[in-house]
A and B are shown apart, each in its own frame.
Chain A
Amino acid sequence: MFKHRPILLAVLVPIVALGIVAGSLGRAAADAPGVTPTEILLGGTHPYSGPASAYGVIGKGIAAYFAYVNDRGGVNGRKITYKDMDDGYNPAQTVQLVKGMVEQDHVFAFFNTLGTPPNLAIRQYLNDQKIPQLFISTGATTWGADYAKYPWTLGFNLDYQAEAIIFGKDIVAHQPNAKIAILYQNDDFGQDYVTGLQKGLGAKASQIVKMASYEVTDPDVRSQMATLQGSGADTVVIAATPKFAVGAMVALSQLSWKGTTYLSNVSASQTMMHAATAAGGGEATTDGIISDAYTLDPTNVSLANTPGMKLYRDILAKYGPGLDPNNGFVLYGMAAAYTMVDALQKAGKDLTRDKLMDAALHLNEKNPFLWPGVELTTSPADHFTIREEQLERYDKGLWVPVGSVIDARK
């Protein structure tokens, strides 16, 4: 081996030198990679495979909206290319895909990467690189709360705390003497709910008479619901994922409990409400339950004639013919894509990452895919993108809006 050493060195040294030179050249490149006179390249990740693959259609809703925008001339004369990859909801996979898209494809910004764990895994890296991580698909509170440390990251979803704050405000406004019980999932989602409810109730937080939690591995929540009923509460907040929320509604009905029930938005789809109605033995199970919405709901017939729903169905007919228009995830994807296009538009013709971030932090839009009246506003001091929502009451198989849009900020 030794006699080949000079040759080896002769080969290795130039390679190493080239590598170092190439590395430093790469760092000195223009401040708008992924932007050409005709194209803007955005990156994203959604789980098209694995246990969370139901969310995959969000990426398809986004693609449909971008195709629609591109057909109408794009953004400031540039067409959007969205490179959306499958991370299977595995953070280790997300990191690799994102690094590849940064180094090889030179994407301009990331948009709507999905899931709290995948986004936590890439947040530090993207902020180190000063690459925007915009309108990401997760309801965790950290995106809006920790912006000083991660200024390049911006969420999209109404966060769970804000939702619970709004429930709390509604209770204070309409039943100031309520005795409140809460069922929550014992994880970050559930904890955010408890915190938000306490914030929303303010001085009335002492009126929470009982809290009960469950684990996602529990078979059901019947015993928890019995405990809550036994506490003498007249108002129950259900902060639960669909399977347990249905169980909780049915259990309350079987316990002949009479009072006000608030239900977390994640479990309030028509499918779940129908399941609860059927399992509980009739409309009495679900009538009067209060929940909330911030995007349009394709299954809500009262919204069918809003301009947003019409636009949504028109776009899908032309650009997403294989997609189920009644799937709320598709509509959610389109709502997020609308906001991304809005931010790119406001960032102007002379596009840089700094300008995009600046535009994303000065939004005040009327997004047609959000619930009528819900406004999306951001400012350099407020990185919570959506903090307003519409309360709704379930009435004979349909969600009916109650009162006007409530802002968690006020």
Chain B
Amino acid sequence: MMAAARVPAGNLVSFGLAALVVAIVPWVLPPYISFELAYAGAYAIAILGLIILTGINGQISLGHGAFMAVGGYTVAIAITRAGWPPEAAMLLAAVLCALFGGVVGVVALRLSGAYLALATFALAVSVAPILKRFKDLTGGAQGLTFPAAHAPGPLAGVLDSERWLYYESWLIVGVLFAASWFALQGRLGRALRALRDNEIAAVSFGINPFVYKSLAFAWSAAYAGIAGALIASATAYVSPDTYALNLSITLLIGAVLGGLGSMWGAIIGGIVVEFLPLWAQTINTAASSLIYGISLILVMIAMPGGIAGAVRRVALIITRPQSEGQLERS
């Protein structure tokens, strides 16, 4: 109750509106777009994890694709080898990735900046060879195929596979967003930000960097694991190529493009990394990566704070016509 009282009305309204739009979308758009949006939701979750780690705690990661791979393979292995239901497998993926992320976080304590970027990049690089080596478990280069996800119980009659994946993905987006928002309101959020802004000052205030920095890594990795699990579940197939090297970089692009300073940036980033390459193809299939790259550069030049940052600036100008004058005075 105390926490709920602190939620500003504006946030509640925007959250409610967003939820409404999310609920209606699959009934007005064709199923394949719901399917693509399920992937966008998964990317949004992974990017949210990255925003918590990089934007709020100031630790960089070029290896989040590795956590997504662990999440995806956990689901695939639990379903194919142990016959688990996909939902339970997803939970296991989150737990395993949190543990894995915590371990990486402890190692990361000794590194920062470019060194941390390189160390995490090494994680991403090692994914494919490791998966191929443990062929009996992972299916090697050919990967693992499993039955497509479908809505459980009575829902199966109402929701086809595409819409079910969509709702599953965006329901998890909603829950994780709310959870992160509340968690970052209090002491935890302040501690993470303080460590980012000035670690020595933070430590002198009694913040334990060992605990909070490895916690941020574990938290962030758990989100990436859930995202990887959702992608595996939507594709009904995993292979090393699903979690290729460029995935980690794509996530960072999404975080920067959406806006590292805002949680809404994760949703925007997720939608952008899902749909920008698809859109680029409609212009020219053979030069899609070129168009993708040019669009990225243009957005970064025009909106250095990411799209979420730009939207906030515009909203500020619209809602407060005199704000420029006020800002000048302050």
Contacts and interface: CB of A to CB of B under 8 A. Distances in A.
Given A86-B281, A92-B231, A187 B132 contact: yes
Contacts of A99: 31-32, 35, 162
Contact of B143 (A1, A16, A117, A217): A117
B235 interface: yes
Interface of A: 1, 12, 15-16, 19, 23, 48-51, 56, 60, 84-86, 88-93, 95-97, 99-100, 102-104, 115-118, 120-121, 123-125, 140, 142, 186-189, 215-217
A91 B241 contact: yes
B160 interface: yes
Interface of B: 16, 24, 27-28, 30-32, 35-36, 39, 129, 132-133, 135, 140-143, 145, 147-148, 160, 162, 231, 234-242, 244-246, 277-278, 281, 285-286, 288-289
B121 to A, nearest CB: 16
Nearest to A89: B241
A324 to B, nearest CB: 15
Given A100-B32, A103-B31, A120-B239, A85 B285 contact: yes
B295 to A, nearest CB: 14
Given A49-B289, A85-B285, A91 B39 contact: no
Nearest to A122: B237
Nearest to A217: B129
A169 to B, nearest CB: 26
16 contacts: A1-B16, A48-B289, A86-B285, A89-B241, A91-B241, A92-B39, A95-B235, A103-B30, A104-B30, A117-B143, A120-B143, A124-B148, A142-B142, A188-B142, A189-B141, A215-B133
A119 to B, nearest CB: 10
A116 B148 contact: no
Nearest to B163: A19
B160 A23 contact: yes
Contacts of B129: 215-217
Contact of A48 (B24, B35, B238, B285): B285
Contacts of B24: 12, 15
A15 B25 CA distance: 10
Contacts of A217: 129
A90 B242 contact: yes
Contact of B288 (A49, A124, A140, A186): A49
